Structures are given as C-alpha cells and as structure tokens.
DNA sequence: GTCTATATTGGGATAGAC
DNA sequence: GTCTATCCCAATATAGAC
C-alpha cells in the first residue's frame, strides 16, 4: 500500500487524508462525499479509490493515522508510570490518558475523535475494538491498583464520565477559547481537576 | 400542520416520528433515508413529505417532540428550587438539570439527544439555539448564585464537563446495564456524585 | 389523506485511455 | 499514477390519480 518514494505520490495521498478528515468531521461519514473530499484535496475522484479502495477504506485510514499515535502515547505514559512507582496515584493515571489528547494533538485530530462516537455502529465498531480495546483494558488494570476495593464495573463507569468530559472539552474548546483567553493548558488543568475530584468522590 | 381529529392520521404521523427517531439515532441524519424510515413505519414514502414537507422538517419535528418537554421540565425544576430557597446548593441545581434526562426519559429520546452533538452545524445550530439557549442562560445564572466569585466563563466550562459526562452516560448506559445490574437510578446517582465533586473541587 | 409513478440529482465505484 | 467517461444505484422530492 505504501511505496518507497515519497514526494508527489505521498503528497496526493496526504492531501486526500487531510481533506477527508476535515469533511468527515463537519458532515459525518454519510454526509461527506468522495466528490467533495477529492475536490477539496485537488485530486481526481478516481484517486480516492486508487489509494484507499473505498470510502470505508479512506475513513479507516484517517482513523488509524490519528488515533493510533495518540493511544500509543497514552500507553507509553502509563507504562512509564507503572514502572516508576509501585502504586501510582489517580491524577497521574488520568493525566497519562488525557494529556496526549488535550496537549499534544491538533484540533483536526480531536474533532475527528469526538465525531467518532456518533457514527453508525457497524462503521466504527471494528475500528474502536482494534484501536481502543487494549488501551481501556490497561487503564482499568492500573485504576484497579489505586482502588483495589472498587469493582471493575464501577471503575469503568467513572472512567466513562472522564471520557465524556474529555470529548465535550474537545467539542467546545474552540468555543471557550473564543470567549475568553483560555489556553489549551488551562483547559487541560480544569478538566483534570474536575475528573480527579469526580473520580475520587464517587466511592 | 395539526388537525383536530386524532385517530388514523395521528397514528401515521406518530409512527413516522417514532421510526425517524430510531433511524436517525443509528444512522445519523445523512445516513437515514426517508425510504428506510417510511418503510419501517409502514407508510408510503410520500406520507413523510405530506406530514413534514422535507427530511429536515421531519428531523426538526423529532427534535421538538422530545427535547422541549425535557427542557421545560428542567426549567420548572430550577424555578421551583430558586423560589423555595434563597440560595440553592450545587447538587440541587445539577439534579434539576440531570434528573429529567436520566430518570424520566425513554432510551430513544436519550440517544437522539446524544446523537445531536455530532450532526452538521447547519442542521442543528438553529434547533440548539431555540431549544437550549434560554436553558443554559438560566442555569448559568443559578450557578452564579452559588459561586459568586467565579467567572461565568469558568462556570460554563465546568458545566460543559457535566454535559459531557451526561452524554457519555447516555451512550454507554445500555452497555453498563448489560454487564452488571446497574439501574438507571444507580447510574443517575453515580453521575450526580461525580459531577458535584468535580464541579466543587475545580475552584 | 394515501398511493403510484416519475423527475431529478448525487453518490460510490470501475473500465480503460494515457 | 492520473484522468475521462460512464455504469448503476439510491436518494429527495413532486405531480397527479384515486
């Protein structure tokens, strides 16, 4: 799928990915047409099929390009944490999960991730399973170290609140940053404070 | 748009609304076709246009049927609270917002509400403005009574975390209720505890 | 108010020239 | 690897009979 020379061919391929990402975000999978995407990317309609075979293939490629690096970073953060200290604290674990998204990702990646939750089951389920399954397992195990008395179900429920607050932050960030001077570092701290406090109390 | 007799005509109209709600939820606005909706509702394709004029009109009707009663209930809860006590507490305010959704709405309504956030801007922006604008204003004012020292921007940010956790709860509820025996009352309490603690800490 | 039939558009996908 | 042309299908919408 990937050739060794990387100039003109990659730039067309990359332009398609960039345009697709933006249009999938604003219109959703069904609402985005290959015609709109390829026109935006200044390539021929057939190029999309040449590089990605199908619209689903293109969506999948957009997904993996952005989500996998983030989740690898999250796992790296977590492993480093567990190796350094026998029993990490809650804030460190949540930070390992939230930091790569809130601080080290561009807005396009974030909005694509948020958009994912609303796509049809049959489209995203295989992507989620491959991209997030291992991650959630590892974080649940880590959380269990901090809350050995708490059931895994309970930990998963609280963790879903964290995910929800994070996604809402992504959706609204540009909105809030438009109103006041709210940097992404500030948003990150506010979100982390909120989640740590919420997680702890919820015994 | 609405006739006085309410038997066969309303039942067709209602069946279309019900089917539309379910299919919009699972496929999104663009992914849902009038053909799929009317076929599911056992009415003719043309009936959808007869009752709702266009696909957008149908979407709008689904929105108003479900969201307006919920938001009226939220406002009623809030007004009762403010009239009863000079200075309500945070938990009461958040409960006024969350209770109508988590305890008194059917799953279809909830999923439709969650799905909303991901629809294209131009589709939902007018609906959101009309359906949620006043609500958010009133709740922000109420929160300002509890946190007079905190900026409105900050209150809005924290409130968005609450909304995010709520939406994630909607998305995942059937999932969690499948795993363990987690009733909606339990989910509601866990969510409320999480949000109150998160909101308070985040000074 | 319900249905058939159809106008019209737009979409994904592919064949085949270059 | 890029482009044109086209196939084929599905979609919204509407006209008009009943």
Tokens of B64: 């108003």
Distance from CA of A196 to the nearest CA of B (A): 7
Tell me what pLDDT residue B7 has.
Answer: 42
For residues A41 and A99, membership in a common domain is answered with no
Of the three residues A53, A70, A89, the one that is the final residue of a domain is A53
Of the three residues B15, B36, B53, the one that is the final residue of a domain is B53
Which residues in chain A land under pLDDT 70?
1-10, 174, 178, 202-203
Q: What is the CATH number of the domain that holds A49?
A: 1.10.10.60
Alpha-carbon distance of A112 to A116, in angstroms, equals: 6
For residues A49 and A68, membership in a common domain is answered with no
CA to C1' distance (Å), from B6 to C4: 26
Domain containing A6: what range? 1-53
Tell me what pLDDT residue A201 has.
Answer: 83
Tell me what pLDDT residue B114 has.
Answer: 87
Closest of B92, B93, B189, B83 to residue B135, by C-alpha: B93
For residues B80 and B25, membership in a common domain is answered with no
Helix axis angle, B121-146 relative to B55-84, nearest 10°?
0
Closest partner residue to B118 (CB to CB) among A118, A176, A200 is: A118
CA angle B51/B55/B56 to nearest 5° reads: 105
Alpha-carbon distance of B191 to B95, in angstroms, equals: 10
Which residues in chain B land under pLDDT 50?
1-8
pTM of the prediction?
A: 0.92
Of the three residues A18, A34, A53, the one that is the final residue of a domain is A53
Q: Which residues of B touch A199 (CB under 8 A)?
A: 194
For residues B67 and B47, membership in a common domain is answered with no
Tokens of B52: 């709702």
Q: What is the pLDDT of residues A48-67, one digit of tens each?
A: 999 999 999 999 999 999 99
For residues A113 and A194, membership in a common domain is answered with yes
Tell me what pLDDT residue B182 has.
Answer: 85
Q: What is the CATH number of the domain that holds B104?
A: 1.10.357.10
CB contact under 8 A, B118 and A115: yes
CB atoms within 10 A of CB B144: 14
Q: Provide CB contacts within 8 A for A197, sequence distance 6+.
A: B197, B198, B200, B201, B202
For residues A74 and A161, membership in a common domain is answered with yes
Alpha-carbon distance of A156 to A120, in angstroms, equals: 23
For residues A135 and A153, membership in a common domain is answered with yes
Contact B153, A182 (CB under 8 A): yes
Closest of A104, A121, A198, A193 to residue A158, by C-alpha: A198
For residues B73 and B135, membership in a common domain is answered with yes
Q: Which residues of A touch B202 (CB under 8 A)?
A: 190, 193-194, 197
For residues A45 and A66, membership in a common domain is answered with no
Structural domains in chain B (count): 2
Q: What is the pLDDT of residues B54-69, one digit of tens each?
A: 999 999 999 999 999 9
Alpha-carbon distance of A161 to B106, in angstroms, equals: 20
């Amino acid at each position: 799928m990937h050739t060794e020379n990387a100039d003109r061919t990659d730039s067309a391929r990359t332009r398609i990915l960039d345009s697709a990402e933006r249009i999938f975000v604003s219109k959703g999978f069904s609402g985005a047409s290959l015609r709109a995407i390829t026109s935006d990317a200044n390539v021929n309609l057939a190029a999309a099929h040449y590089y990605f075979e199908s619209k689903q293939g293109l969506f999948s490629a957009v997904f993996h390009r952005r989500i996998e690096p983030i989740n690898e970073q999250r796992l790296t953060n977590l492993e480093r944490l567990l190796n350094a200290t026998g029993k990490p604290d809650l804030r460190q674990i949540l930070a390992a999960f939230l930091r790569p998204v809130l601080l080290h990702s561009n807005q396009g990646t974030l909005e694509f991730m948020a958009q994912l939750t609303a796509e049809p089951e049959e489209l995203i389920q295989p992507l989620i399973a491959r991209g997030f399954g291992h991650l959630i397992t590892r974080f649940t195990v880590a959380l269990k170290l901090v809350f050995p008395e708490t059931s895994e179900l309970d930990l998963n429920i609280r963790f879903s609140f964290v995910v929800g607050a994070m996604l809402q932050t992504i959706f609204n960030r540009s909105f809030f940053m438009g109103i006041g001077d709210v940097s992404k570092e500030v948003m990150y701290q506010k979100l982390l404070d909120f989640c740590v406090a919420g997680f702890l109390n919820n015994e």
